A = this chain, B = another copy of it.
């Protein structure tokens, strides 16, 4: 049984889709209420929302590593991570305050409507399969970095993030707002059907997953500053294949850098604004069926 679900927005304060969906639901809680479980809606990073910035001191969505929760650094997001861990987690516990966290994000990349999944839990993947059956355009990116998963949704036993784009930071787009909203309602309906004991055949299908392989950084000069940009032929080509020799970057001087990898892979999160400082221009992924 699913007893409590959290739908969170504003983890990045300049990703307005989640910020205003949560505002809408707090004004109209009946929209996210279902019979068999409780839905909590929450602004995770209120100070960053107020400032309309991604974060105040550090990316909140990288602040839930166990070590940081146990010995929090002295800054705003670390403290907020501990509060959220107490409110929704605690991370890794047998018994957590919520069973599922859906964290709402947007991206400047042409990612359409997509899920970022880092949990391996069976319920998480049941929900993924359900949503893919309900929303054929939905894409699934499975994140698997080297480090511990430190996302907001990692403090509950089940969950994932929605990423929707392209939408600039600090902007609301009505079309993507409504698509995100509809996806959330599908998820809540799934929990309701599952709780009722009804067979949910949509969860049985296979799904196409873009499986994390690696990251590519921009061309940079000796000072670490950008020396080029995503090539115009690669821009907006999220979820498409890149093959050896395809144009990858255009340097400021106009010269073209080509992709050198031997394996054709899919490019995701191309030219996401927030990743300039993190040092990646796009993500590489392998397309698999699960």
Contact = CB atoms under 8 A, between A and B. Distances in A.
Contacts of A169: 168-170, 273
Given A168-B166, A169-B168, A252-B20, A174 B229 contact: yes
A23 interface: yes
B252 A178 contact: no
A28 to B, nearest CB: 7
A87 interface: no
Contact of A177 (B166, B229, B273): B229
A275 to B, nearest CB: 10
A206 interface: no
A269 to B, nearest CB: 12
Contacts of A28: 253
A175 B250 CA distance: 10
A24 interface: yes
A237 to B, nearest CB: 12
Contacts of A178: 232
A276 interface: yes
A172 interface: yes
Given A108-B168, A168-B273, A273-B168, A250 B23 contact: no
A162 B13 CA distance: 29
A158 B182 CA distance: 51
A232 B172 CA distance: 10
A273 B174 contact: no
Nearest to A166: B168
A44 interface: no
A253 B24 contact: yes
A177 B20 CA distance: 32
23 contacts: A20-B252, A23-B252, A27-B252, A52-B276, A108-B170, A166-B168, A168-B171, A168-B273, A169-B170, A170-B273, A170-B274, A171-B276, A172-B226, A172-B230, A173-B229, A173-B232, A174-B230, A174-B231, A174-B232, A174-B235, A175-B232, A175-B235, A178-B232
